[in-house]
Amino acid sequence: MPLEVVWRRDRDAGCCFADLFEPVPPICHIRELDLSSDLRRAADRFRRQFGVGRRIDFDWRALRRLRNAGYDLDILRRLPGMYLSTFETFYPSERDFMTFVPVPSLQRRIDAAVAGFGKTIGVHVRRGDNERSIEGSPLELFVGRMGVEIDAEPATNFFLATDSPDVDQALHEAFPGRILTHRKRSLDRRRREAIEDAVVDLFCLARTTRLFASFWSSFSETASMINGIPYEVIRTGPAHRFWW
């Protein structure tokens, strides 16, 4: 079936898809939906609350249960159309993000930022309003883990992606001369510049040798998936290592 993507431009991502990426061949059309205004947000809440348009929700757990129960999911092919809404990966692929190519202006910034990479480990420290990440991945754990890597390999440096100026300053002071960053023009996710900067950070992290990730952050996981690099969640309790 032809695939149309509805790209929601709202207070969490205030830019268009075309501001970030080249056209993606499997997608026949990307329709922009601006939810940045109060009126549009109210209309969206009304639609969801009162069920305007019939919807059936599946996540990967539900699909697994249906498959195990013998349901023939090919019946969905006979529907006149489907609307998929998800915050998680719901279909496996060898290279999930290989078709996403940043626009030339962003790609030039990515290439310039990674030019100094060598034995570079990516570090993503998520702050903002993500309370689980703040509590689960305190900064001192990152400092300790980074210190271990320097002891093991003195040539190690780090590319830091963070939404916190305080974290940026603290790690520069803790590891002088070892922290590489891409300077942010804005941290306001309602602004196009902030989302563009986030894409640069994302693809720079993907070009490191491996990644020290924040707990409860899909940004870290996505960065590791782009080029299949291993990542380790820095968190209280046992460390979690993932290899793609």
Radius of gyration of the chain (CA): 20
Residues 155 and 204 in one domain: yes
User: Which residues are paired to 231 by β-bridges?
Assistant: 211, 242
Number of domains in the chain: 2
Q: Which residue has the higher pLDDT, 237 or 110?
A: 110
Average pLDDT taken over every residue of the chain: 86
Q: How far is CA 169 from the centre of its chain?
A: 23
The 10s digit of each residue's pLDDT in 92-126 is: 666 678 889 999 999 999 999 999 999 999 999 99
Residues 109 and 220 in one domain: yes
Q: Is residue 97 part of a domain?
A: no
Q: Is residue 42 part of a domain?
A: yes
Q: What pLDDT score was predicted for residue 122?
A: 98
The 10s digit of each residue's pLDDT in 22-49 is: 998 888 889 888 766 655 666 666 566 6
Residues 48 and 112 in one domain: no
CATH value at residue 158: 3.40.50.11350
| Domain range enclosing 59 | 3-78
Amino acid code (one letter) for 97:
F
Q: What pLDDT score was predicted for residue 76?
A: 75
Q: What pLDDT score was predicted for residue 244?
A: 46
Q: Is residue 92 part of a domain?
A: no
Q: Is residue 156 part of a domain?
A: yes
In which band, very low, low, confident or very high, does the pLDDT at 57 lie, cut at 50, 70 and 90?
Answer: low
Q: Is residue 67 part of a domain?
A: yes
Residues 180 and 233 in one domain: yes
From residue 83, alpha-carbon distances to 2, 29, 134, 179 in Å are 12, 14, 34, 43
DSSP state of 38: H
| Residue burial 101-132, b: 16+ Cβ < 10 Å; e: rest | ebeeebeebbeebbeebeebbbbbbbbeebee
